[in-house]
Structure 1
Amino acid sequence: MKKIAIIVVALLIGGAAFSQKMMTRVGEIKFDATVPGAMDEVIGTNKTVSSIFDKSTGEVVVQAMVKSFKFKSPLMEEHFNENYMESDKLPKASFKGKVLNYDGKTGSYDVEGDLTIHGVTNKVKTKMTVTSEGAKLNIAGSFTIKLADYKLEVPALAKKTLAETAKITIKLPLENK
Structure 2
Amino acid sequence: MRGRTKVMIGAGAALVLLGGAAVIVGPGLYADWANDAAAQAPALEASAAPLGDTAALDGEWAVAPGSVAGYRVHEVLRGEEVTVTGRTEDVTGGVTVEGGRITAAEVTVDVESIATDEPPRDAYFRGNVMEVGTYPTATFAVTEPVPLTEGATDVDLPGELTVHGVTHDVVVPARVAADGDGVQVVGSVPVTFADYDVSAPSLGFVRVDEEGAVEFSLLLERAP
Kept in 1, the 8 Å contact 2:72–2:213? The answer is yes
Kept in 2, the 8 Å contact 1:51–1:60? The answer is yes
Q: Which residue of 2 aligns with 1:3?
A: none
Work out whether 1:42 is the aligned partner of 2:84.
yes
Gaps of 5+ in 1: 1-17
Q: Distance in 1 between the 2:95 and 2:170 partners?
A: 17
Distance 1:94 1:71, change over 3 A: same
Work out whether 1:20 is the aligned partner of 2:20.
no
User: Pairwise mapping of residues 164-175 of structure 1 onto structure 2 (< 5 A)?
Assistant: 164-175=210-221
TM-score by length of 2: 0.65
Q: Distance in 1 between the 2:160 and 2:97 partners?
A: 19
Gaps of 5+ in 2: 1-56
Distance 1:158 1:146, change over 3 A: farther
User: Pairwise mapping of residues 96-107 of structure 1 onto structure 2 (< 5 A)?
Assistant: 96-97=141-142, 98=144, 100-103=146-149, 106-107=152-153
- The sequence identity of aligned pairs, in percent, is 23
Shift of the alpha carbon at 1:83?
A: 1.2
More strand as a share of residues: 1
TM-score by length of 1: 0.80
Kept in 2, the 8 Å contact 1:55–1:102? The answer is no
What CA deviation, in whole Å up to 9, does each residue of 1:105-129 have, x standing for no partner? 5421111100000000000112211
Q: Distance in 1 between the 2:145 and 2:218 partners?
A: 13
Work out whether 1:85 is the aligned partner of 2:125.
no
The answer to which structure, 1 or 2, has the higher relative contact order (CA under 8 A, 6+ apart) is: 2
1:148 to 180, 183, 194: 194
Q: Secondary structure at the match of 1:77?
A: helix
Kept in 2, the 8 Å contact 1:138–1:174? The answer is yes
Work out whether 1:135 is the aligned partner of 2:181.
yes
Kept in 2, the 8 Å contact 1:35–1:160? The answer is yes
Shift of the alpha carbon at 1:51?
A: 2.3
With 162-171 and 84-93 compared, the bigger mean Cα shift is at 162-171
Kept in 2, the 8 Å contact 1:38–1:161? The answer is no
User: Pairwise mapping of residues 94-133 of structure 1 onto structure 2 (< 5 A)?
Assistant: 94-97=139-142, 98=144, 100-103=146-149, 106-133=152-179
| Corresponding residue pairs, total | 160
What CA deviation, in whole Å up to 9, does each residue of 1:87-115 have, x standing for no partner? 11110100001562124654211111000
Let me know the Cα RMSD of the aligned residues.
2.3
